[in-house]
């Protein structure tokens, strides 16, 4: 198993799918994270 440590990270973009009333579909969210340093353990 790997661990990813992000330093000085922030969310730069969030997108969500559209949902219509009465539909049984799942909501999808996409998040873009920007970071300055990445340590992989």
Spatial neighbors of 17 by CB under 8 A, at least 6 apart, are 27, 28, 29
DSSP letters spanning 2-22 = --EEEES-EEEEEEE----TT
Q: How many CB atoms lie within 10 A of CB 4?
A: 9
pLDDT at 3: 96
**Could you read off the pLDDT of 6-41 as tens digits, one per residue?**
999 999 999 999 888 888 888 899 999 999 999 999
User: Residue 9 corresponds to which tokens in the numbers above?
Assistant: 């990270």
pLDDT at 21: 87
């Amino acid at each position: 198993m790997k661990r990813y440590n992000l330093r000085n990270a922030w969310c730069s973009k969030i997108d969500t799918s559209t949902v219509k009333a009465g539909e049984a579909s799942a909501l999808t969210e996409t998040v873009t994270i920007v970071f300055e340093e990445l340590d992989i353990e």
